[in-house]
Structure 1
Amino acid sequence: MLTFFYPIALLQATATPAETAATPPPAPPPPCESEAHAGFDLWVGEWNVFPNGSDAQVANSGIEKLSGGCTIREQWMPFQGAGGISLSAVNHNSGRWEQTWVGSDGKRVDFEGGVVDGKMVLMGYWDDIGGPGVDALVRMTYSREEDGSVRQHGEASTDHGLSWQTSFDLIYRPKENDTP
């Protein structure tokens, strides 16, 4: 049997009082609580959805933060037509927001963008948005309105962004503020 003896002075020399009493370094902030990750918080909530300028509700939408605040999921529930979901997150390499929309018609659209002048702006090519074979570059701008609602303004371009036409213009009103 081998036995090792270390002089007490040697053991004491390897750990200074400052090192043994030092507090551990502060934990880094959670990975998805940055200013960039808060860029789409304006959209999180339970909403009644209306065409801009109309009081005729066309959909419900539930938007929630998931995965420790790293993902935003929308459940789009229109009264007529195809519903769907979107997942949005900040790309950890580029720092840009990315959104994937999948409709109940099976079509998928990928958007990319970020906050511009306090508004979330996402762009992507949407196949068949203008009918079969009519694809367009779509720019969606989400903005908080003074009354607490959120406007989602969709514009389409069939000439790669040289000109834009409104494709949809929706107002998301918080459910808790609506009266029956």
Structure 2
Amino acid sequence: MLTSYVALLLLQAAPDAASPAPPPPVCDSDGHAGFNFWLGEWDVYPTGGDTKVANSRIERKHTICAVIENWMPLRGQGGTSLNHFDAERGQWYQKWVGSSPGAVEFVGGVTDGKMVLTGNWPQPGAPQTLVRMTYTTNEDGSVRQFGESSTDHGVSWQSAFDFTYRSKEDAPK
């Protein structure tokens, strides 16, 4: 009896040979291409400096609907960002998870040829910090990630970090 029941369940779960599988979601619109310039294997340096601080791998996953960064600093703990474009809202979303508890969520999009994402970065015992990251393609193909922070809800901004991602093929050895 159990064998017949298992066989029936398997038949119900089996795909119908007459109907083709639905196509995977296609994320190849102009909006979805907003972060294409950041894809690759990178050596990361402070902007204007030649002392490497990290490796970073940025790749498309899941039928090109997600952009994932694996941040691998030479010192300290790493992290990962999951990025996706919401076509209905016309915005990019990033969720950053690092080595400390919690996550940071950013939202934004392409403005004047630059990807700009903003989110609240929780810091225990500190005032709420708004972080704005601007990603720019440089003439040499490198990518600048410039971070600013604000503790007054965006009225004023201070430089927080400034990195240049150089393609592993072009980076100094």
TM-score by length of 1: 0.80
Aligned equivalent of 1:84, options 79, 85, 97? 79
One-letter identity of the residue aligned with 1:90: F
- Which residue in 2 is equivalent to 1:44? 39
- Which residue in 2 is equivalent to 1:33? 28
Alpha-carbon separation, structure 2, partners of 1:47 and 1:132: 34
Alpha-carbon separation, structure 1, partners of 2:141 and 2:125: 37
CA positional deviation for 1:81? 1.6
One-letter identity of the residue aligned with 2:136: S
| Partner SS for 1:122 | strand
Aligned residues: 151
Change (3 A) 1:179 1:166: closer
Q: Supply the RMSD in Å over aligned alpha carbons.
A: 1.7
| Partner SS for 2:63 | helix
Does residue 147 of structure 1 match 2:137? Answer: no
Does residue 133 of structure 1 match 2:126? Answer: yes
One-letter identity of the residue aligned with 1:125: N
The structure whose Rg is larger is: 1
User: Which segments of 5 or more consecutive residues in structure 2 lack a partner in the other structure?
Assistant: 1-22
User: Identity of aligned pairs, percent?
Assistant: 54
Alpha-carbon separation, structure 2, partners of 1:74 and 1:65: 9
CA positional deviation for 1:117? 0.5
- Which residue in 2 is equivalent to 1:3? none
Counterpart mapping for 1:101-120 below 5 A: 101-120=96-115
One-letter identity of the residue aligned with 1:118: G
- Is the 2:105–2:119 Cα contact (8 Å) retained in structure 1? yes
